[in-house]
Amino acid sequence: MAEKGPGGLDPKRRDFLVKMAQGAALAGTGGLLWDYILRSEARAAPFALRPPGALAEDDFNAACIKCGQCVVDCPPKILKLEPAGGALPIGTPFYEARTGPCTMCPDIPCMKACPTGALSPNLKKIEDARMGLAVIDIENCLSYKGLRCEICHRECPLKGKAITLETHPRQTSKHAMFIPLVHSDACTGCGICEKACPTDIAAIRILPHKLVQGKIGEHYRLGWTFDTEVTQDFKQAPQAAPSSTPEPGGKPGGLDYLNEGGL
């Protein structure tokens, strides 16, 4: 090459490489920004109540085409599509339990309307839907205050399964307390209880499972329940029990330290 530009490159080749780098930088920054907007839009609000059969939130966000056919086909017209600028992911269907709970249509028309499978056709019975879980604010629940309310129990479409009453007898001058208990193995999260709750702000609310539900570790063995298999977990560990020999450094071992009143 006769002419060499900066960096010992042919100027044309250099121009081309610079253009490529500029294009890549533009695409990269633009793409990252776009990606960021998408993610923050999708994951900002994990408290949306989705129609029955909805996939897990991330899968649902990916699969929903935002067409609103579930909204149109919903007989009680409780579903809405989130408009732009709202708190929930844009264009996705949701319902608000306090103003419009799911009426649990047995034929699940909203799910049947979904063209993409974001509302999964694997849901065969509406009782198997898990739209959310009812959670009771025991500080504000009238029943916990000793009043005869139990409206949530009476209104629950799965009364006796999703919500049961537990009686707590009190002294003779007071009637017993009738405490509503929610059972996650039956509660569909329809929200009829939240709608019915007579307190100013509902004391029973529907929330997505992952916001409220805990999980005990696999290692817990509830020996007093019939369905817990009897195991040999109480065998001594293969290693010797904590030894009482002093640790290197002259201090007594942990057990001795406690047993000998070292505290």
Partner 1 sequence: MSTLPPFTKADALASVEKLHHRSPGAKLWSWRYIILRRISQFGILLMFFGTAHWGWQVAKDVPLLIGNLSASKFIGLIPLTDPFAALQIFLTGHALQSESLIGAAVVLGFYLLIGGRMFCAWACPVNMVTDAAGWLRDKLGIQPIFHLPRTLRYFILAATLVITVISGLAAFEWVSPIGMAHREIIFGLGMGFTALLAIFLFDLLILKNGWCGHLCPLGGFYSLVGKSAQLRVRFDKNTCTHCGECAKVCPEPQVLNLKKLEESGYVFSGECSNCGRCTPICPEGSLKFDFKPLIRSHNMHADAIAVQRRTR
Q: Which residues bind partner 1 (CB under 8 A)?
A: 27, 30-31, 34-35, 37-39, 41-42, 58-59, 61-63, 65-69, 71-73, 80-86, 89-91, 113-118, 121
**Minimum separation from the CB atom of position 119 to partner 1 (A):** 10
CA atoms of 183 and 215, how far apart (whole Å): 14
**Minimum separation from the CB atom of position 151 to partner 1 (A):** 30
Nearer Cβ to partner 1 (68/157): 68
Residue 4 CA, distance from chain mean position? 62
The Cα angle at residue 259 between residues 253 and 261, in degrees rounded to 5: 105
Nearer Cβ to partner 1 (37/138): 37
Nearer Cβ to partner 1 (37/211): 37
93 contacts 68 by C-beta, under 8 angstroms: yes
CA atoms of 154 and 160, how far apart (whole Å): 9
Nearer Cβ to partner 1 (42/49): 42
CA atoms of 33 and 225, how far apart (whole Å): 53
**Minimum separation from the CB atom of position 96 to partner 1 (A):** 13
CA atoms of 138 and 257, how far apart (whole Å): 44
Nearer Cβ to partner 1 (82/256): 82
CA atoms of 161 and 134, how far apart (whole Å): 13
Element at 39 (helix H, strand E): helix 11-43
**Minimum separation from the CB atom of position 238 to partner 1 (A):** 44
**Minimum separation from the CB atom of position 231 to partner 1 (A):** 39
